[in-house]
Structure 1
Amino acid sequence: MTGVFCLGISTLDYVYSVETLPTRGEKYRSRGLAVVGGGCAGNASVAIARLGGRSWLATRLADDVTGDQIVADLASEGVETDFVRRVAGLRSPVSAILVDAQGERMIISYSDPDMPEEAGWLPSQLPDGVGAVLADTRWGLGSLAALQMARAAGIPGVLDGDRTPPHPDLVATASHVAFSAQALAELSGEADPRRGLARLAKDAATWLAVTLGREGVLFVEDGEVVHTPAFPIETVDTLGAGDVWHGAFTLALAEGQGARAAIRFASAAAAIKCTRFGGRTGAPGRDEVLAFLAAAG
């Protein structure tokens, strides 16, 4: 079974369904509640497992009840948690998330500022069966170590650039980087994502893309910026969609799919997720994605 080694943040999310996002300091009533694991790498690792890939997660948690719940949820999804580090005396990451009737979300997150940054406890080489690596931007030294292992192994190393990379070598070390629109704008200095991507691509050997939600994906191919539209859906909840996209994209690369096919596969997985409330609880299985793609033509 082809697998992906994921590294980055894993959280416990309290997801509230509301009619509209709050604008004033008042009491509001939630229409629904999901308590579910979250975080970029955590969500991606679960998405990979649901899509039929083997999934490892390296993450930093506290030795607390929240951490226990995060690990138990990951294990229940089939994610291998041998590389989860538990640190005594700290707090594991948590988020309070509001999702409105249009599927847009507001996130308030907490990560313990005293969580150790050093990455010396990570393995010196990847586990057998890893066909690609996926890292997020929440732990720079750890992500750099994971991407360096991917490069040494000669396999794809994907960076989820949802925030500006915290280490200057991350983009160059990755084989593939998919930015959020905000991170791309901050890094390139361009408000327009097409111009921003083109600007970064001039000096980069790394494959570059930017995910734009309902506007699809822009990516660089043979020096040109190419657009792939998103699948039309009725959006219920966008929470975790980007993480599912990155997990599915990396798994597809690990399986030997080309970038275009991987984008299509990932976009279908993310689209299905957006039709369901509850963050990563809406991540689809492999058969669902294949049926969705077949119906889309």
Structure 2
Amino acid sequence: MAQILVLGMAAVDFVLSMDAFPTDAAKYRAKAADIVGGGPAANAAVAIARLGGEPSFIGRLGNDPLADLVLGDLEAAGVGTAHVHRATGGRSSFSSVYVDARGERQIVNFRGDGLTEEVDWIARLPAARAVLVDTRWPNGAAAALRMAREWGVPGVVDGEAPIDPRLLENASHLALSAQGLASLEPGDDLAAALERLAARVPGWVCVTDGANGVWYTGASGIDHIPAFRVDVVDTLAAGDVWHGAFALALAEGQAEAEAIRFANATAALKCMTFGGRSGTPDRAAVLTFLKEYV
């Protein structure tokens, strides 16, 4: 199995299903609810485990009951947690998430408090086949990407704004959301904005845009791979799952275009199930989908 280090944010998500997002200072009733693990890096790590990889989550938590929930959930999913830092007196991250009838989500997140900023311990992490980071802890992400360069393995950034310039400099693969790309190269034309960005960063770049697919730097310029069309129930964690699948595919030796298609299929299947990352498919489901999709 491909060993992958995944560094960034872990949280607890309190997910509520509603017909429409709240708009007034009033009481609302949910149609369904779930409590699931969340956070971009943690969601990606769970996706890697379900797809047959061997992920280790590298992150910061408090020494509180929420941290116990986060770690228990990750470990039950097959994610290594030996390199998680728990700060005495620190408070772990959590989110309130609404999912509407279209499957779109609205998130209010508390990032945590009193968590470590030390990064020296990251240099002692064991080598892996790939490193994936989110942007929630810039100091840690920059240190992890430098390690990936030293090891000669893919260093992938899940690019949500704000994006620290050090991540642009050290990533071998910069996989941006549309929001992340706009923060670096404003403009409505994603392909044109991506082309401008590609001219000024050293690594390979792409931008994901949900149902509109993925634009990326190909051999002859900016290429596009469409998304798979599915009945969407819940988009929560779909982007995080995409990044986990993409990083795993690179670690296994797939070319970027192949890795995008694999990640697109994984994210599409996740969107068909309510409950955030609990809807992440396994490897068999993804391969069957790729084989049978028309």
- Residue 211 of structure 2 is aligned to residue 249 of structure 1: no
Checking the alignment, whether the CA contact within 8 Å between 1:201 and 1:223 is kept in structure 2 is no
1:234 to 228, 231, 235: 231
1:73 alignment partner AA? D
- 2:114 aligns with 114
1:116 Cα deviation from its structure 2 partner: 2.5
Structure 1 counterpart SS, 2:36: strand
- 1:93 aligns with 93
1:50 Cα deviation from its structure 2 partner: 0.3
1:263 to 260, 263, 266: 260
2:194 to 182, 192, 197: 197
Aligned CA distance change for structure 1 residues 125 and 68 (closer, same or farther; 3 Å): closer
1:273 alignment partner AA? K
Q: Which whole-Å CA distance do the structure 1 matches of 2:137 and 2:202 have between them?
A: 23
Q: Which whole-Å CA distance do the structure 1 matches of 2:162 and 2:194 have between them?
A: 14
1:151 to 139, 149, 157: 149
| CA RMSD across the alignment | 1.1
- 2:4 aligns with 4
Checking the alignment, whether the CA contact within 8 Å between 1:8 and 1:59 is kept in structure 2 is yes
Q: Which whole-Å CA distance do the structure 2 matches of 1:256 and 1:155 have between them?
A: 10
Report sequence identity in percent. 47
Q: Name the TM-score, length of structure 1 as normaliser.
A: 0.97
2:133 alignment partner AA? A
1:210 Cα deviation from its structure 2 partner: 0.4
Runs (4+) of structure 1 exceeding 4 A deviation are none
- 1:139 aligns with 137
1:124 Cα deviation from its structure 2 partner: 2.7
Which structure 1 segments of 5+ residues have no match? none
Q: Deviations over 1:241-263 (max 9, x none)?
A: 00000000000000000001000
Checking the alignment, whether the CA contact within 8 Å between 1:164 and 1:187 is kept in structure 2 is no
2:48 alignment partner AA? I
1:50 alignment partner AA? R
Structure 1 counterpart SS, 2:97: strand
Q: Deviations over 1:8-38 (max 9, x none)?
A: 0000000000010111111111011110000
Structure 1 counterpart SS, 2:78: coil
1:135 Cα deviation from its structure 2 partner: 0.3
Structure 2 counterpart SS, 1:169: helix
Checking the alignment, whether the CA contact within 8 Å between 1:8 and 1:135 is kept in structure 2 is yes
Checking the alignment, whether the CA contact within 8 Å between 2:91 and 2:113 is kept in structure 1 is no
Structure 2 counterpart SS, 1:179: strand
Q: Name the TM-score, length of structure 2 as normaliser.
A: 0.98
- 2:59 aligns with 59
- 2:290 aligns with 293
Q: Which whole-Å CA distance do the structure 2 matches of 1:33 and 1:112 have between them?
A: 23
1:41 alignment partner AA? A
Q: Which whole-Å CA distance do the structure 2 matches of 1:223 and 1:174 have between them?
A: 21
1:208 Cα deviation from its structure 2 partner: 0.3
Which structure 2 segments of 5+ residues have no match? none
- 1:38 aligns with 38
Q: Deviations over 1:26-78 (max 9, x none)?
A: 11110111100000000000000000000100010000000001000000001
Deviation larger for 167-176 or 231-240 = 167-176
Q: Deviations over 1:178-213 (max 9, x none)?
A: 111111011113232112101101122210000000
1:227 Cα deviation from its structure 2 partner: 0.9
1:238 alignment partner AA? T
Q: Which whole-Å CA distance do the structure 1 matches of 2:126 and 2:194 have between them?
A: 31
1:226 alignment partner AA? D
Q: Which whole-Å CA distance do the structure 2 matches of 1:126 and 1:200 have between them?
A: 32
Q: Which whole-Å CA distance do the structure 2 matches of 1:37 and 1:123 have between them?
A: 27
